[in-house]
Structures are given as C-alpha cells and as structure tokens.
Structure 1
Amino acid sequence: MGNHTTVHTFLLWGFSSFPHLQSLLFMVIFFSHVTILAANAAIMVAIRLSPNLHTPMYFLLFGLSFSETCTTLVIIPRMLVDLLSDSKTISLPECATQMLFFFGLGGNNCFILAAMSYDRYTAIHNPLHYPILMTHQICFQLIVASCITGFLISLCIITIVFNLSFCDSYIIQHFFCDISPVVHLACDYAFHHEMIIFVLSAFVLVGSLVLIMVSYVFIASIVMKMSSTTGRYKAFSTCSSHLIVVSIHYGFACFVYLRSKGSDTFREDMLMAVTYTVLTPLLNPIVYSLRNQEMRIALKKVLDNCSRFIFQMANKR
C-alpha cells in the first residue's frame, strides 16, 4: 500500500460540472420528486380504499409503488441538498448505507416485476383456479421474498465494495454512491471483485428478466390459441402496462450495470442514472393509471374525495 492515505469521506461530485445549471436542475428534480411521491401515494391510496382493486395484481402493484417511493427517497433528497450546498461530502458509512438501500430496493423492484408477470400468466392460463393459486397470502410471501432476496444480494455487493481499501482519491463522479464510481476509487480493486459484482448484478437483472420473458412466452402461446379476437385483445391489454414498465425499467438498468466500465463512462452513466432514479419512478404510475380503466376510476374517486375534504375544511375556516 506504500504511503497511501486512507479515505474516510467522499465527495459526491455529481452535477458540479454544470454549475450554471444546478438551480434549474434543482427545480426540475424537486417538482419531479413531488410528482413521484404524489402519484405513487395516490395509487396506493386508491388500491387501499377501492374494494374492486383488492386483487393480487393490484396488491403487487401496491408493493411496487411503495418500493419505488422508498427508492427515490434514498437518492433524490440527498441529490437536492447537494445541488444547493457547497459541501457535497458523504462519510463512508453513509455511502455504504445509501448503496445498500438503493440496490436492495432496486432488486426488490425487479423481483416484484417478475412476480407480477407470474400473476398475469396464472390469470390467463388458469382463470378458474386463479383465486386459489394467487391468494393475498401468496402475494405477500412473494413481496417478502423479493425484498429479502434483493437486500441479501445488495448486502453481498456492499460487503465486497466496502472491504476494499480507498486511498488518495476521494471524488465520486456521480450524484450518489453507485457501484462503479466507488470501486474505481479503491486501490486494491481487482478483476475477481469486478466479476463477482457483475455476476450478482446479472443475477438480479438478467435472472428476473428471464423469469418475466418465460412468463410472457407462455402467455403469448396461450393467447395465440384463443379463437376469439376479443379474448386476445383483453388478455394482451391486461399485460400491456406491465410490459411497458418492464421495458423502461430493464432498458435503463441493463445499459448501466451490465456493460464494461471505464472512467470515461462515468458522466454517461450519471446522466443515464437520472432516468432510472427520476424518470422511471415518474413514468410507472402514469403508465398504470393511463392504461388501466379500473385504476383511472379509482383515482378519480380518490381525487374527488380529496377535493371535497379540502373544500369542507376551507368552509369551516
């Protein structure tokens, strides 16, 4: 190790390369974050208060919305503070905690999406036994299993990353503690570390994506055998929202985490990270609300009740 100085604090360089855009970025990301919280909260309240949405599909959607809300809370508030602050330092334990929760919740999202594809397959393949095969208890077990698996894999990655020695360089070329910009600061980061992290990341992303693709191969084969055009359309329409969300989620995540890295890719990865930390959680509730009539009706009732409550409170004052 020579005369290296051990690093205990990092500097999140993030958007410091764009000093004149930081105020604009703060406004855009702040309003996006408020919209994300409001949209996901509206979906969760609508599912909770609407008896016709007390089905396995919406139970899993509730879990996904809650998980994505937590994911944004791990990253965006800190990002907003750093955009307005001159001091962008983060301690090593804080960095490890942020990475643990971000990748744990990210893995949870992936496995919940896989569970949702299995739910759609079960509903189309065996509609008569669907209430028995997909009970609320089974849905809850799938969500718990997704969470445990996601956090166990995240813990393995964190253990590898933060057992490395960080010396001399302390500037993270990102707005949060992502894997690649952190491990490239380590002075003993080796090929076998990179391969283990790659395999664990691939297990989450590729493993869950394979489960989703297998489910949809079976769904497509079942739907194509249907004689009724109306039946085909109805079957595909129940899956369309999920397919759009899967395409957005995995498209960005696989591009960032399953390709070779270099110091020259950090800025590109950082800009891409804005999409899956801000844009994806913003699009998901929009997709599910716009393409689902039951959800639109439930959300309209929730908004009407909120408006009525606010109006009554205003009149009392």
Structure 2
Amino acid sequence: MILSVDIGGTTCKLGVFNNDNTLKDKWQIATNILDEGKHILPDIYQSFLNYFDEIEEDISVCSGIGIGVPGPVDFNTGILNGAINLGWSDKKSVAEEFEKLSGISAIVDNDANIAALGEQAHGAGNNADDVVLVTLGTGVGGGVVSERKLMHGSNGSAGEIGHIKVDHNERFLCNCGLRGCLETVASATGMKNLAVYHYTHHFEETIISDIISDGTVNAKDIVEAAKENDALAIRVLEDVSQYIGHALSSISAVINPKVFIIGGGVSQAGDFLLNRIEAEYRPNTFSPAAEGTLIKIAELGNDAGIYGAMELVKQYIEEN
C-alpha cells in the first residue's frame, strides 16, 4: 500500500492507496499550527497509525508516503523553504523528519505540483505524457508534467504560472513584489481587482455596484452577474480569459503540452470561462504548438493532491 497526504493551512487530506493505484480510503484531519507547526507531522503519522489499527494491518506494509506542502521545495533533498501558514518559518526537512517518525520512505513536493501530477495521471489529463495544470484560486498556481515527470527547474521555480507577466499596464501589485503578473488579473483576487478597476473607470451601472463599493465582491459574485448578462461582469471575465489565453499561448510555445487543465475555485465558472479562454488561445498561439492541444476543467477537485502524492511514491520510491 501507499500513503499520501496533502498538507494545507486548515486541513491535511490523507489517503491510502492499494498497489494497483486505487484509492482504498481517504479522510482529513485539522492542521495544528500551534508551537510553530511542530505537531503537524506527528499528527499525520498518528492518524495513519490509528487507521491501520482499525483495519488490523501493520503500517510497515506500506512502500512509502508522498507529501504535498504549500511552499517551495528542494525536490532532491525534501527540504521545504518555509511555509508561513503552517507555522514553518524556516527551512524544514519534511521528508527526513517523517522518515524518522515512521520508518517509512517519504518524498515531498509542492502542493501545486502534486495536484498537477494527480490530474495528469488520474484526472482530466487522461494520462497524457505532457500536461500543464493552472490553478485559479486566491492566487494562480500551477504545475508542469513533461514526459510524465514533474518539471522542477534549476531551483524549484518551474510551474510558477501565476507570475507570467500578462498585464503590461502593470495596474496591480502582486504578492511577489512585481506588477502585471497573471495572478493579479486571473485569480479570485485578480477578478476583484478588475471589477473595482472597471467600475471606477468604465462602468457606472452594474448589478454588483453595492458589493464592489463596500469591498465585499468576490469571484462567485462576478460569475453569477455575468450569467445575468451584467456588462461589467462580462468584461471582467473576458479580460480574465484573454490573460489566461495569452499565458497558455506562451506556455505552448515553450512546453507544447497535450492538455491544459484549469483548476481552482475560479474554474467553477466551467464552460462560461473555458469557451472564452479557447477563443483567446487558438488564434494567438503558434499553430503547430496548439494543434491537438486540449483545454479542460480539472476533474479530481480536492483529491488531486493525494493522487499526485501517491504517484510520487510510484515514480520515485517504488521504481527506484
């Protein structure tokens, strides 16, 4: 069997997989970030121990554990370079610490990367060799799978799709300190940025004027208003689609994936968003690179991470 865990700031999602890659069971526990997060890994191990006690099996039968973490990882060493929302402010040897706790071989990667691997192998990627995941949440994340292996780059920064520069007017400041990043105009935060901008500069009438004015407007509000043919909301979604389409065009010219997968909360807009991204992507992309490329909505939802973490074990522990 294989263990997997996707560690988040609020919950840790745990999975146990059979040797044929099928999910045997899954559950989640609260992420205890007290005392600089020192309880997180022991809590995860104890939860797995409790599970194996219940099914009356020995946890030592497991070949390894894959761990996803919300922060930059040196994939070769398993060292996380800090995760503030977990209370881990400094570098942390996540793989080594879990192995000392459990005696089980561990492998660690960034949570967006493992989600990409999960979707590639078990979700919308349909096991294609070359897949790119773009996650549209509070920010914009991503992961690149090339020839069924995750790309990490020279220092682990590959797949940082949210920091491709697309807004050349540089209207909004990104958390990275730069302006014009995809994250500032295509995430849930970016949609809010655009709604406020267009309300201030171009549109006097919109059904969401009150919540724009008081600062409570969110991505869901904008999508719902667009479905009611609100001009400002439609303009925001058209802008978002244009920026995503151009980012995918740039990625295609470099990576040439078979499938782009759009995930995260914003992707719940579904075909309303997807059709507009397609309309921007096709005419603006080097045609050989776009030929046969699919753009799809993610399928695994919150389970993408545990599937991807399982795949890490299959690829890097069991096959070695």
Normalization by structure 2: what TM-score?
A: 0.33
Normalization by structure 1: what TM-score?
A: 0.34
**Structure 1 or 2: larger helix share?**
1
User: Which has the higher relative contact order, 1 or 2, with Cα contacts under 8 A spaced 6 or more apart?
Assistant: 1
**Structure 1 or 2: larger strand share?**
2
Q: Give the number of the structure whose alpha-carbon radius of gyration is greater.
A: 1
